[in-house]
Structures are given as structure tokens and as C-alpha cells.
Chain A
Amino acid sequence: MNIPDDLLYTESHEWIKREGDKIRVGITDHAQSELTDVVYVELPKMDRQANAKEAIAVIESVKAASDIYAPVQGTIVDVNKALEADPGLINREPYGQGWIFVLKIDNADDLKQLKDAEGYKKQIA
């Protein structure tokens, strides 16, 4: 299972990539593999505020719908429109073209709550 060292992680299986005062968010390779074929993604609304651990997007596989959570508090500043036409990107490139949204974070210290690769590895072991 691919768990890149340079990313942060949540217990709810999102990955987080820091980009200055913003974070890019997707779901982990492990999560996409458990979900199976992703067939629909409901993206968060642009410019919306989100609290930490608030459900702001939905990923639907053939089998089930799953909520995606904001890892920390902030504002949605970008969403991956490509997923509307090709939700399978999440299965094929979970850490690349399958990203879901970009969040401008309110407080950089919040990121300290997140897991590093080692911590996430332990969680799913």
C-alpha cells in the first residue's frame, strides 16, 4: 500500500499536502482500494467555510457512499472538477490527479493534529 512520506494523514483516510497557507486533500491509496470503483464524487462548494472534521464531500463507489472530511478549519479555494467527468481518477491516481479539494487553512498550527506517514501506517496495519 502506497503511503508517501511527505504527506500528512487523517484517521478518516484523507491525505494532506501542504502548499504554503493552503492544503491539497485527497483520499489515501488504502481508502480507494477499500472503497472499490469510485463512480461519483460530490465536490465541496467553492468558497465555503469548513470546520475540522466536517463532512464536506461525498465519494460514491459501486457499493456505498462515503463522506470526506475537512482535515482542519479553513475555506475551500479549489475543487477538482476533473473528477466530475472521471471519478475513477481517485482509484488510478489517489495522490495525483485524484486530489479532491484545496483548503486555505485558518491556523497552520492545526496541522500538528494530523498524522505523519508512520502514524497512518500504524493505523491501517
Chain B
Amino acid sequence: MNDCLGSLRNTRPSLVSLVIEDSPRKTPLYDEHVWLGAKMVPFAGWLMPVQYTSIVDEHQAVRNALGIFDISHMGQFIVDGAGAREWLNTMLTNNTNKLDISMGQYSFLLNERGGIIDDLIVYRIGDQKFLLVVNAARTEEDFAWLQNHVPAVEPAVSTAKEIRLTDRSAKFGGVAIQGPRTAELFHALFGIDADLPSRNSIADLPFDGTTVSVARTGYTGEDGIEIFFRATDAVELWSSALEKGKPFGIKPCGLGARDTLRLEMCYPLNGSDLSPKRNPIGAGLGFFVDLTKRNFIGRDALLKTKENGAPEKLVAFRMKEKGPPPRPHYAVFQNGERIGEATSGTLSPSLNYGIGMAYIDAAHVKIGAQIDIEIRGKKFPAIIEKKPLYKK
């Protein structure tokens, strides 16, 4: 996530005005956010709420009760056709053959060098039909990449290998409802008899005369659901969830809380912790790469990394003392030697300590080891911790 504020000094005089050069897009819930008094910031080409009242309060609402996030900026692709599953298995690192119908999995889209183009969730919503939910900032790039890799149709091959790729992002939106009281709100919204999808699965459910897709997934480490719907149904669903969530203490939550929640869980953020220069092995996410698959883009490069070991690894750390929170790009030292750089950092609202993730030389990766984070020329001690940093 991009910082919404530079230094106070660098803030342009019309700091409040949202007249932005490249006119970011608005989600179907934009008016709702403004009406609720959200602070809107440009993010990944969209105007998004960074907070409504306070990042810390919104963070605690998700940890202790319920929060609702607008995730309509995220990209949604449909891949279907008789050849869909086999083709996706050549494009993604995880194994789509392991997905039963209605199940979802975390996966990567890699370039030929094994570098990460995007991380995403792929849901199998039919025998040969898949929903891909991708990062907002990468939607266009992902779609172009996928489109360029759809094999040319040979007339002789008939429809047996047909692959249809559709970007439905502009017509669809989504919200994430996250927190320990998710199940209660789910039943308030969809009826007492509705079946809450099991972890990582997705189901179509009737809602107010329409149909929405409900997935038991999220980016916070709490129980939660993500609901995908037509853009025209967005306001109705958002308003109902806020209204029916009142008894459960629901709060609308912005990107600020989304970032602190995910970082406590050590969920990576593409663009910060992941990039085309990094691969899933170095990021410590090899679990979502199936190297037993014979063929997928980036496989050869990953096999080499696996064989030689990643030169740098993504570790989680916690500041040893109260003090300034770590930030992306701060240098990491050990015994005076520079060993890496932070890619994420914040003050953890749950732990009340500075936390972060950093890529460091593989030789120095040891849980419990002390490192130093350089903040404005001064070194502050931190400890390499096991992931996740926050445990219930």
C-alpha cells in the first residue's frame, strides 16, 4: 500500500482536495464511503477509504467483533471452457487439479524468470469454470499476461481445448466481512438456514432478489467472508451488512486497518513484499507452488532457486522496545553489517510494538536472532520472529 501522506511539509497546499491528476476510478460504494466520512485516498488507480474514524479502532473491531471492507477495486476474472483447468495449471503455481468444485486456493502468477507478477485467489466455481480475484494495481497487467498466453485456437482441435477469459471487474464489486462474529452476520444476511461456506470455499447464495457469491476467505487472520456481486447490488449489500451488523459491533474499515491486520498475520502485499524481482521461494511461500506439476510458467527458475537456495528470504520481525515503528525501505543490520531491507512495517495495534517484514541474506535467517533496524540514522534492536507475528 502506498503511503497516503508525505511529510507534512511536502503535502501540497490543497491537501484535502481530491483533484487528482490521473482521475482515479470510484468503486460502486464511493458515495457510501464519503457519506460515512471516510478519508479517501488514491490507491492503485482507485479512490479508496484509508480510514473512517481511526485505523486502530477499525483494526480492533476486526480482531474483536466485525469489520467490513470495500474490495471492489480488486480485479475479477472468469476463466471457463473445456480447457480452462488444464490451461490455468500452466499459468499458476498452485495445483488447480487439487481444487474440488467450490474450493479456492492461494496462487501466484509468475513471469518466465519466476518473478511474481501477482498473487491471487483462484476459486473453482464450476467443473471448468474459475473465478480469479487479483490485486487492483495489477488487474490490467494480469489480464494482458493471461490473454497473451491463451493458446491460439486451431480449427482442428474443436472445442475440447476451448478457453474463455473474461475480465468482469468493471461490472462487479466485492466486500470483505471479517471478524469473530462473521457467522452471526452471515445468518442475519442470508437466513438462519443458509449454509456458511467452509474455509476457502465459495457458494452462490440468493440475496434480495439477486445472487451473490460468498467465499470463506480474507486477508486479516480472522474468520471472515468475501462477497462478490454485480456492481448494481453493491450499495444494497453494503447497507444491509452495516445495518444488520450493528448488534455485532460492525465497523466500516479502510485500507489502513487492512494493512495492519494483514501485516500482523505476515500476509504479503504485492508491490511491497512481492515483486517481479522476488519469487515465492524467497518470500517463504513455496507451499503455494507445486513443483511436481510438469509445466507452469516460471517453474524452471523456481527449480533452480530451490536447488541453490534463495539468496535472500522474507522474514518477520518485531521491535524489541517501544519506539518508532519500522517502515518499508529501512535498512536491516546485524552486528554492524547490512544484511537487508524492510519491505513492510507499522505499529501493530494488537501487540503495541513495531512489526515488519524484511528481505535479509539467507545466511542470517534464524528465528530469535537479533537484528537492528536503522531509523533516521539510528539503530533500533528487533528480533526475527516466527510467522505469523500475531496469534490469538
Contact = CB atoms under 8 A, between A and B. Distances in A.
A24 B346 CA distance: 30
A34 B5 contact: yes
Given A36-B39, A40-B324, A59-B8, 8 more contacts: A34-B5, A53-B9, A62-B260, A63-B4, A63-B5, A63-B256, A66-B8, A69-B8
B88 interface: no
A12 B9 CA distance: 4
Interface string A17-36: 00000000001001101111
Contact size range, A: 20 to 34
Nearest to A91: B54
Most chain A beta carbons < 10 A, residue from B8, B13, B349: B8
Contact of A58 (B5, B259, B349, B376): B376
Contacts of B16: 30, 34, 124-125
B342 to A, nearest CB: 13
A33 B54 CA distance: 10
B324 A34 contact: no
A2 to B, nearest CB: 15
B327 interface: yes
18 contacts: A11-B9, A12-B9, A34-B11, A34-B39, A36-B50, A36-B54, A39-B325, A42-B324, A55-B9, A62-B56, A62-B256, A62-B260, A63-B4, A63-B256, A63-B346, A64-B4, A68-B8, A123-B13
Given A62-B260, A68-B8, A34 B15 contact: yes
Contacts of B51: 36
A69 to B, nearest CB: 6
Contacts of B39: 33-34, 36
Interface of A: 11-14, 27, 30-31, 33-37, 39-40, 42, 53, 55, 58-69, 123-125
Name the residue among B5, B16, B51, B55 with the largest chain A CB count within 10 angstroms: B5
A69 B55 contact: no
Contact of B256 (A36, A60, A125): A36
Nearest to A85: B322
A1 B282 CA distance: 47
A60 B8 contact: no
B307 interface: no
B347 interface: yes
Nearest to B322: A40
Given A36-B256, A39-B347, A60 B325 contact: yes
Contacts, number: 86
B276 interface: no
Interface string B315-342: 0000000011101000000000000000
B8 A64 contact: no
Nearest to A69: B9
A64 B256 contact: no
A44 to B, nearest CB: 13
Contacts of A66: 5-8
Contacts of A11: 9, 13
Nearest to B375: A65
Given A36-B256, A124-B16, A67 B9 contact: yes
A31 B9 CA distance: 11
B154 interface: no
A13 to B, nearest CB: 5
A55 B324 CA distance: 17
Given A27-B8, A34-B5, A40-B323, A62 B55 contact: yes
A42 B11 CA distance: 20
Q: Which 9 pairs between the two chains have the least Cβ-Cβ distance?
A: A12-B9, A39-B347, A64-B3, A62-B55, A67-B7, A66-B8, A66-B7, A13-B8, A40-B324
Contacts of B3: 63-64
B9 A65 contact: no
A55 B15 CA distance: 20
A64 B5 contact: yes
A116 to B, nearest CB: 16
A85 B327 CA distance: 21
Contacts of B323: 40
